[in-house]
């Protein structure tokens, strides 16, 4: 343990509640100057809350905070920024209608007399870009940037404010492999220049890759602190969950795909020449053709925003399309969302808040969304049957807390996702669309959801898995397709797919199919 | 000459719209629905007449109108920002409150249920409706200048940047230390002052306060705000368009070609057509109306 004066951050016994939910209950964090420190833990373990406390967004109910040896308990965001603490949030804190330069200077505006000095702000962005290698167009509107660029803006924003302690909350969730490598380079150069970085992440390989020290949180408390050198992903996962976890990324795990002979069995899902147009009238899915056999998981890899969302939503019946989509040889063209569901289509949408859940509805209500017509008595909802249904799924899918009358909002992200998975997999289905099924979900829940997806495959269902996490696609899929620029640019058997073979397709450097 | 008279009449009608719509743009860009413009205008109209009656100076009336609009805006801001009341409900309440309060004060101070005594204005009564008479009125100049001034404030100053940020993504603004509530209070107060000035123009132009004299002008200003897609210059043009339609209606009133009921509909039909044509494409500030759930 380094002596206290050398610590950049020292949080002791932090307690923070939101109504009845205790997000932090005695959390501790000690980070030395000039290190990359990984903060890991399951969803709902309280990592983001703790870091928001550190960044001054929340005031702790009790506990003490020190930065650079100074007591800063309960400071404001403005204080934190002034002291050089900057946070890059998981959901970007950028105003989409403003330009890059405006976002960067917001709150610490550059002026010439009473007027904003745009030119100086853009110059400052250019200078920071040159220093860090984080290239962004300073005069572009943030809404027009890619997610990767938007994240660069977030980092530049904190550096512009003179951040010496940088908090990154799940920074790689939205990045492609080359962008992730670039990010680590930037992190290392910030550290080498004397900066301190706290990295919140779920991805244990990242922790091993870039961090020097690890703090593990579970259920609002700090449960372990270790040096990265000499630990293993398994040890970290055990500390996070409190038990052993089968890591999908384990080298020894290869699964037991049935891999039916294509053509021998008729496909459950058949998509031909599918074209989907985006909001601006341009095609965003350009003539996609593929099929999925019973007992097969087709994984779609690719950087987000290459048409995956529109592909899945077209199949689900949420977007108009041309071309044909058939489920068990039945054309879906004339069927609406509910009829598609009745025909045997289940859909785990990629954005659980936007599409999958109504956060102010109860768990029981969310568990019948889209199937409410099956839970009626006369004109009214059959509440007792709804609750029975909910209790059964809560037990079977281990949704916590186990209270069907709680609003979905009150659950952690991982448990919200379990609601969606439970609802879509408990119904009678033939084809499952699973879009980013484990996004923002902790390792315990990932393991569980992966097991359910394999189970569906083993029961002879067809699964379309779309994931921005290449490791997830490789862990689950029997065949791997890559989408780039709205096209399926590669379609490979699992055995031929590795990060190295897929990388060039994901970045558009190569195309095969 | 007819054209010149038409333009002068249009400008005269547009002034209160321009002042109120400038306030509407600022308020809505900060995330606060400006349903209250009507109430601010009515309050401003009354306080303008009250102050200029007792002081004899229209300038005192202008100052009082700014204060009157600001007081109503403060009530709205406190209920919507501090107490997170639903903005539509609070806005309707403010408008009803302004109607009732001015009616009560009219009775209290001037012992009338319909109108106040005559007061001094900036123009001499009967000096005509041409440009000459119009341009001696300082409030007309204010109404013309308020649009570029608002554009300057919103797009060129740090305060404007913050207003646009808190109306679009308040948590992002808060995360970089922008005091979201304070920015919104200032924006709403400013909108109250500007709409109050619009009310002062109306009352001083007619040299008296009459019960309910704003007659929906605040709502037309709100429509102009939305039709102008929350941009000061486009909102200003929308105000001129609505004013031109009203002028047309007034000039057609004497003619026998059209039934007068249809003529009277022109400004309102135009408003509906304009809004229906644009609202589908217009993107409101993302946090507009959402102070209740942050």
Residues of A in contact with B286 (CB under 8 A): 96-97
3-state secondary structure A342-380: HHCEEEECCCHHHHHCCCCCEHHHHCCCCCHHHCEECCE
Distance from CA of B160 to the nearest CA of A (A): 9
Mean pLDDT along residues A268-275 = 94
Domain A4-241 coded CATH 3.40.50.300: yes
pLDDT in tens, A136-186: 999 999 988 877 888 899 999 999 999 999 999 988 877 777 788 889 999
pLDDT score, position B129:
66
Residue B121: both structure tokens together: 């204005």
Indicate the residue of B169, B172, B177 with minimum beta-carbon distance to A81. B177
- Work out the mean pLDDT of chain A and round it to a whole number: 87
Radius of gyration of chain A (CA): 24
Interface residue A104 vs chain B (CB under 8 A):
no
pLDDT score, position B259:
81
CB contact under 8 A, A107 and B173: yes
Chain B residue nearest residue A109, CA to CA: B158
pLDDT score, position A153:
94
Distance from CA of A49 to the nearest CA of B (A): 14
Most confident of A48-52, A229-233, A357-361, B69-73: B69-73
pLDDT score, position B256:
73
Q: How confident is the model at residue A340 (pLDDT cuts 50, 70, 90)?
A: very high
d(CA A176, CA A506): 8
CB contact under 8 A, A93 and B172: yes
> Is the pLDDT assigned to residue A253 strictly greater than 70?
no
Q: How many other β-carbons are positioned within 10 Å of the β-carbon of residue B264? A: 16
Map out the domains of chain A as residue ranges.
Answer: 4-241, 269-506
Q: Give strand pairing partners of A67.
A: A9, A70
The CATH class of the B2-293 domain is mainly alpha
Interface residue B287 vs chain A (CB under 8 A):
no
Mean pLDDT in runs of 10 for chain B (294 residues)?
Answer: 86 96 97 96 97 95 97 97 94 97 96 91 70 85 96 97 96 91 97 98 94 93 91 95 89 77 80 68 79 58
- Side-chain half-sphere CA neighbours of A401 within 13 A: 11
Q: What is the ipTM of this complex?
A: 0.87
- Give residue for tokens 């970290």: A236
Higher pLDDT, A264 or A302: A302
* DSSP, res A409: G
pLDDT score, position B128:
64
Distance from CA of B110 to the nearest CA of A (A): 44
Interface residue B157 vs chain A (CB under 8 A):
yes
Q: Give strand pairing partners of A330.
A: A327
Domain A269-506 coded CATH 3.40.190.10: no
Beta strand A380-381 pairing with A376-377: antiparallel
> Is the pLDDT assigned to residue A247 strictly greater than 70?
no
pLDDT score, position A263:
44
Interface residue A359 vs chain B (CB under 8 A):
no
Interface residue A161 vs chain B (CB under 8 A):
yes
> Is the pLDDT assigned to residue A230 strictly greater than 90?
no
Indicate the residue of B157, B160, B168 with minimum beta-carbon distance to A96. B168
pLDDT score, position A447:
87
Q: Do domains A4-241 and A269-506 have the same CATH topology?
A: yes
Map out the domains of chain B as residue ranges.
Answer: 2-293
Q: What percent of chain A has pLDDT over 90?
A: 58
pLDDT in tens, A74-122: 999 889 999 999 999 888 899 999 999 999 999 989 999 999 999 999 9
Report the b/e string of B215-228 with b at 16+ CB within 10 A: eebbbbbbbbbbbb
d(CA A139, CA B240): 32
Nearest CA to A216 out of A73, A368, A392, A40 is that of A40
Interface residue A185 vs chain B (CB under 8 A):
no
pLDDT score, position A256:
37
d(CA B289, CA A150): 26
CB contact under 8 A, A111 and B177: no
């Amino acid at each position: 343990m380094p002596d206290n004066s050398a610590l950049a951050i020292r949080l002791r016994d932090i307690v923070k509640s939101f109504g009845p939910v205790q997000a932090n209950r005695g959390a501790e964090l000690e980070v030395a100057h000039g290190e990359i420190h990984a903060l890991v833990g399951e969803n709902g373990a309280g990592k983001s809350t703790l870091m928001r406390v550190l960044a001054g967004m929340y005031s702790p109910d009790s506990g003490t905070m020190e930065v650079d040896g100074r007591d800063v308990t309960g400071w404001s965001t403005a204080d934190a920024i002034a002291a050089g603490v900057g946070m890059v949030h998981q959901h970007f804190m950028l105003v989409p209608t403003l330009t890059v330069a405006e976002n960067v200077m917001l709150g610490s505006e550059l002026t010439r007399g009473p007027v904003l000095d745009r030119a100086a702000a853009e110059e400052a962005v250019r200078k920071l870009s040159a220093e860090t290698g984080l290239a962004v167009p300073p005069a572009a509107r943030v809404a027009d940037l890619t997610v990767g660029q938007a994240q660069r803006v977030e980092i530049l924003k904190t550096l512009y404010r003179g951040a010496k302690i940088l908090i990154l909350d799940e920074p790689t969730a939205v990045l492609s492999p080359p962008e992730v490598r670039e990010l680590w380079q930037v992190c290392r150069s910030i550290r080498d220049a004397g900066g301190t970085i706290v990295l919140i992440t779920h991805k244990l390989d990242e922790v091993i890759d870039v961090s020097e020290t690890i703090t593990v949180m579970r259920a609002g408390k700090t449960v372990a602190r270790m040096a990265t050198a000499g630990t293993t992903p398994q040890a970290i996962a055990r500390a996070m969950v409190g038990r052993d976890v089968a890591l999908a990324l384990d080298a020894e795990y290869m699964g037991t795909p049935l891999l039916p002979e294509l053509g021998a069995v008729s496909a459950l899902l058949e998509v031909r020449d599918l074209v989907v147009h985006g909001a601006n009238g341009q095609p965003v899915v350009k003539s996609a053709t593929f099929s999925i056999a019973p007992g097969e998981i087709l994984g779609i890899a690719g950087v987000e925003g290459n048409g995956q969302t529109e592909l899945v939503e077209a199949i689900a019946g949420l977007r108009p399309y041309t071309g044909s989509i058939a489920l068990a040889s039945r054309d879906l063209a004339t069927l609406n969302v509910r009829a598609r569901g009745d025909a045997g289509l289940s859909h785990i949408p990629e954005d659980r808040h936007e599409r999958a859940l109504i956060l102010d509805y109860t768990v029981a209500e969310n568990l019948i969304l889209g199937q409410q017509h099956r839970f009626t008595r006369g004109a009214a909802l059959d509440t007792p049957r709804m609750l029975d249904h909910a209790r059964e799924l809560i037990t079977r899918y281990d949704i916590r807390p186990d209270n069907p009358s709680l609003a979905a909002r009150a659950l952690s992200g991982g448990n919200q996702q379990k609601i969606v998975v439970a609802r879509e997999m408990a119904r009678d289905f033939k084809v499952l669309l699973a879009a980013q099924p484990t996004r923002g979900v902790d390792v315990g829940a990932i393991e569980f959801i992966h097991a359910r997806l394999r189970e569906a495959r083993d029961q002879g269902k067809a699964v379309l898995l779309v994931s921005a996490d290449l490791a997830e696609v490789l862990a689950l899929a029997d065949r791997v397709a890559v989408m780039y620029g709205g096209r399926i640019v590669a379609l490979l058997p699992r055995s031929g797919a590795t990060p190295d073979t897929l990388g060039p397709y994901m970045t558009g450097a190569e195309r095969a199919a | 000459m007819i054209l010149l008279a038409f333009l002068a009449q249009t400008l005269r009608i547009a002034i209160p719209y321009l002042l109120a719509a400038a306030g509407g743009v600022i308020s809505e860009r900060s995330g606060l629905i400006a349903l209250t413009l009507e109430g601010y205008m009515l309050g401003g109209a009354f306080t303008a007449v009250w102050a200029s009656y007792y002081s004899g100076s229209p300038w005192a009336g202008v100052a009082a109108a700014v204060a009157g609009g600001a007081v109503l805006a403060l009530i709205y801001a406190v209920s919507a920002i501090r107490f997170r009341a639903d903005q539509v409900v609070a806005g309707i309440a403010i408008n009803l409150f302004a109607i009732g309060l001015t009616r009560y004060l009219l009775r209290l101070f001037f012992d009338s249920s319909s109108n106040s005594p005559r007061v001094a204005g900036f123009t001499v009564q009967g000096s005509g409706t041409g440009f000459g008479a119009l341009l001696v009125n300082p409030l007309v100049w204010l109404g013309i200048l308020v649009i570029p001034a608002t554009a300057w404030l919103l797009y060129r100053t740090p305060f404007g940047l913050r207003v646009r940020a808190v109306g679009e993504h308040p948590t992002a603004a808060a995360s970089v230390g922008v005091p979201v509530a304070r920015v919104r209070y200032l924006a709403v107060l400013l909108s109250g002052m500007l709409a109050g000035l619009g009310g002062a123009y109306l009352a001083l132009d007619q040299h008296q306060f009459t019960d309910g004299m704003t007659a929906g002008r605040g709502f037309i200003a709100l429509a102009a705000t939305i039709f102008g897609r929350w941009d000061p210059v486009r909102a200003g043009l929308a105000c001129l368009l609505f004013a031109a339609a009203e002028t047309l209606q007034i000039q057609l009133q004497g003619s026998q070609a059209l039934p007068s009921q249809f003529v009277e509909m022109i400004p309102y039909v135009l408003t509906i057509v304009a809004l229906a044509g644009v609202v589908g494409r217009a993107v409101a500030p993302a946090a507009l109306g959402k102070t209740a759930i942050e």
